[in-house]
A and B are shown apart, each in its own frame.
Chain A
């Protein structure tokens, strides 16, 4: 536990230094959500969401259970459409194009936007095949290239050394934390621009959690990362911006420091300090 704490402090220091050394770097907006509403049948799950997400940043989404965090995340790669009763209005522009437009091809979107789920969901295949799956469905057949992708992706998720000797083992034989990092590696193999993570550490022990948090810090150098979490310390440790959701609305969205140190809305403060939720 003490290592986690020191780590957190270190991260914070590092971030503050970074902010001081490069304060005015203009980061590109990847996602721009304007007036998004979403209904599951009669349930109004997202209400007038406005939010922009920038590259090379970690954006955390926090809020009590059932407030619409997962729903919003799944709207960003249109995975919500797997629920047939879903209806949306408003718009989400991804790199200048409205992804809610029916003419926007979901396959293109999901190739550029990777997703890591709450519960690790490796395929019942070998470790190698799990990683190679993405490249293969996008038409890469060359064994040498696939080998390279597998190695690079596993290295990218800092799990290569652990797994390099058992690439042909079934992924179900891995521990929960390893499976989750495998899923992150699998997501990297498609070379996305954005990674969406829905409570990626909620089923993991502190050590695996820490490794994934470090991984997120590493990945944000190249990717935009949106992470849903119930863990306030985690949000504070790893995110640059935090959005507080409540009953389908965004109550507050700002720099993480602001949200945690002097929130504008009373409810945000109450939630963060554990007074409800």
Chain B
């Protein structure tokens, strides 16, 4: 009854070529990883050697100046901070609200999946397009001008799809048997959402939101479209003030390096500051994820 298809001799003969192939592929994947790492390392080393000696209290605290030795980035830091003041509440409220509606309330059907698909698509739209949207809508139509509110709302729109998708995934990951237990005791939908689903999904939602935030902090293209200057303007004090932001500062110093060579070093120093900020944000995201990671 049992025919033997596995010829031991043949199998043995093919074995060594299979093992060799296996090693080859592993090497290829390793090389790809290595390539990325090397490029990244070169970039970081270059920036750090160029910029690190320019970072000191004065550089961090001073106003902007055309004199490279006196120039500081406090204005840009404050501008970026104020942008976050706008971006965080807008993305959290609208983003999480949308995710809750789509994931927990909307009838699962064609319309719901159409909306969900398009939100994912929006996450892939080039950021400069959001810049154009912001320029048309906030700067011109609503006549905000190129102030923090306009910049913040533009960046909020830009990262909203990311927040929505991350929040949807976090909500979806909450096991259904938890909400069943809640409904089973006579809880309403809102009580179940508020007391069971949201707390369980919160770490995932926050992680997504912070990663989206770090994306917003580094964005330059939409801000250039809005016409954000890097001029000698006073420190911003509210959301209706004009402002500059860290990536804008980097951008202008880099293109002006052809006029004043030292600007290139200032740009490198600013990049370090921005990188440290991003690194901090990502660490917080990882901390939250590890601390609240639930075993269901």
State whether A82 and B107 are in contact (beta carbons under 8 Å apart), knowing that A123-B178, A137-B195 are contacts in the complex.
Answer: no
Chain B residues within 8 Å of chain A by Cβ, number: 23
Determine the chain A residues whose CB is within 8 A of the CB of B107 once the complex forms.
84
Give the segment of A48-56, A112-120, A215-223 that binds chain B. A112-120
Residue among A84, A133, A183 facing the most chain B CB atoms (10 A cut-off) = A133
Determine the chain B residues whose CB is within 8 A of the CB of A111 once the complex forms.
185-186
Complex CA gap A167/B239 in Å reads 48
B180 and A186: CB pair below 8 A?
no
Main secondary structure of the interface of A (DSSP, over half): helix
A187 lies within 8 A of chain B by Cβ: yes
A110 and B186: CB pair below 8 A?
yes
The number of A-B residue pairs with CB atoms under 8 Å apart is: 68
Complex CA gap A70/B248 in Å reads 61
A77 lies within 8 A of chain B by Cβ: yes
Complex CA gap A53/B184 in Å reads 19
1/0 contact string of A131-154 vs chain B (CB within 8 Å): 001100110000000000000000
- From residue A129, how far is it (CB to closest CB) to chain B in Å? 10
Complex CA gap A188/B176 in Å reads 21
Complex CA gap A109/B296 in Å reads 28
Determine the chain A residues whose CB is within 8 A of the CB of B295 once the complex forms.
172
Complex CA gap A124/B200 in Å reads 8
A117 and B180: CB pair below 8 A?
yes
A190 lies within 8 A of chain B by Cβ: yes
B196 lies within 8 A of chain A by Cβ: yes
B177 and A119: CB pair below 8 A?
yes
A14 lies within 8 A of chain B by Cβ: no
Q: Which residue of B lies closest to A136 (CB)?
A: B195
Residue among A121, A122, A134 facing the most chain B CB atoms (10 A cut-off) = A121
16 A-B pairs with CB atoms under 8 Å apart are A77-B184, A79-B184, A82-B183, A84-B107, A106-B183, A106-B186, A110-B185, A114-B184, A117-B181, A119-B177, A121-B175, A124-B178, A124-B296, A134-B186, A183-B181, A186-B181
The 8 closest A-B pairs by CB, nearest first: A111-B186, A121-B177, A115-B184, A110-B186, A134-B185, A137-B187, A107-B186, A121-B181
